[in-house]
Amino acid sequence: MDNNQTSTHPDTRRQLQMARSMCWHCQSEVTGEYFCERCVKVQPVSKETDYFTCLGFPRRLTLDPQKLEAKFYELSRTFHPDFYQAKSKAEQTISLSNAAVLNTAYRTLRDPIRRAEYLLALETGSVKDIRTSPPADLFEEILALQDTLEEYRTSDRDSDQGHRLRATLQTEQEALERRKEEMESQLRQLFADWDKLQDAGEATSLARVERDRILKQMRDLLSHRTYINNIVNDLAATIA
């Protein structure tokens, strides 16, 4: 096959990423957070650093949005490429990739749902394993709803039947939105439970059982909530 379009060269960035504990520039030990204390060069955010650590927050699910924003702004002033124009190419590359990581970290932690999904992924493995699924008790109802939705899409919107279907769908949408809110309030309770457990910091077998319970329930609720959220959005878009 055609090999002309690509070429390989030794990757300096990989070496940079490995050198978390050692400054990529002067090889001295880095004890500071993001800058080498000896040569004051910016250091790359390690691949192993999770978003909580990156933003300097503990792994908790209730975060103060004001404090999060303040930290994001502070680190943006630290890493943004705007402030590295006069620096070396290597420092510019680090600044760019650090700023990208920081932006992803803030975007993830800012939203309580994404924050919880991310924490689940950290604690239990890939977040992509969370498949969206309908809550068992709503399964029949949702199947019927999909049929009504299909019927409405193919019907004449201005006919009597169209009006009737639209009213039904509207009622359904409201019911699902209430259900979603319920789930979100349950989730908030689980978030609080998680934070309390972490704050206690006990390593007992009881604490482990509690931890697994919270994570399991959170995973199910998040999956159901996303499922319902998708349907609500679909409904809103169709009858808008």
| Residue 104 touches other proteins, criterion: CB under 8 A | yes
| Residue 48 touches other proteins, criterion: CB under 8 A | no
The residue type of 3 is: N
Nearer of residues 218 and 235 to other proteins, judged by Cβ: 235
**φ, ψ at 42 (rounded to 5°):** -65, 145
Residue range at the interface with other proteins (CB under 8 A); choices 1-9, 27-35, 150-158, 173-181: 1-9
Task: Give me 51's structure tokens.
Answer: 């978003």
Instruction: Find the binder of other proteins among 52, 106, 191, 227 (CB under 8 A).
Output: 106
| Residue 73 touches other proteins, criterion: CB under 8 A | yes
Instruction: Find the binder of other proteins among 23, 99, 119, 169 (CB under 8 A).
Output: 99
Q: 21: closest CA among 39, 36, 10, 42?
A: 36
Instruction: Find the binder of other proteins among 33, 37, 82, 181 (CB under 8 A).
Output: 82
Residue 134 CA: distances (Å) to CA of 67, 126, 152, 181, 230? 35, 20, 22, 15, 11
- The C-alpha atoms of residue 25 and residue 232 are separated, in whole angstroms, by 53
Q: Which residues of 5-16 are buried (b: 16+ CB within 10 A; e: fewer)?
A: eeeeeeeeeeeb
Instruction: Find the binder of other proteins among 46, 53, 76, 148 (CB under 8 A).
Output: 76
Question: Position of tokens 């969206």?
Answer: 132
Instruction: Find the binder of other proteins among 22, 26, 96, 239 (CB under 8 A).
Output: 96
- Per-residue DSSP letter, 58: -
| Residue 126 touches other proteins, criterion: CB under 8 A | no
Taking residues 4 to 43 in sequence order and writing x for each that binds other proteins by CB under 8 A, - otherwise, the string is: -xxxxx-x-xx-----------------------------
Nearest distance, CB of residue 98 and other proteins, angstroms = 9
- The C-alpha atoms of residue 105 and residue 154 are separated, in whole angstroms, by 43
| Residue 67 touches other proteins, criterion: CB under 8 A | no
Nearer of residues 81 and 162 to other proteins, judged by Cβ: 81
Q: Which residues pair with 22 in a beta bridge?
A: 29
Nearer of residues 103 and 132 to other proteins, judged by Cβ: 103
**φ, ψ at 112 (rounded to 5°):** -55, -35
Q: 177: closest CA among 238, 225, 240?
A: 225
The radius of gyration of the chain from alpha carbons, rounded to an integer in Å, stands at 24
Nearer of residues 76 and 132 to other proteins, judged by Cβ: 76
Nearer of residues 112 and 162 to other proteins, judged by Cβ: 112
Q: Which residues of the chain form contacts with other proteins (CB under 8 A)?
A: 1-3, 5-9, 11, 13-14, 73, 76-77, 80-83, 85-86, 96-97, 99-101, 103-104, 106-107
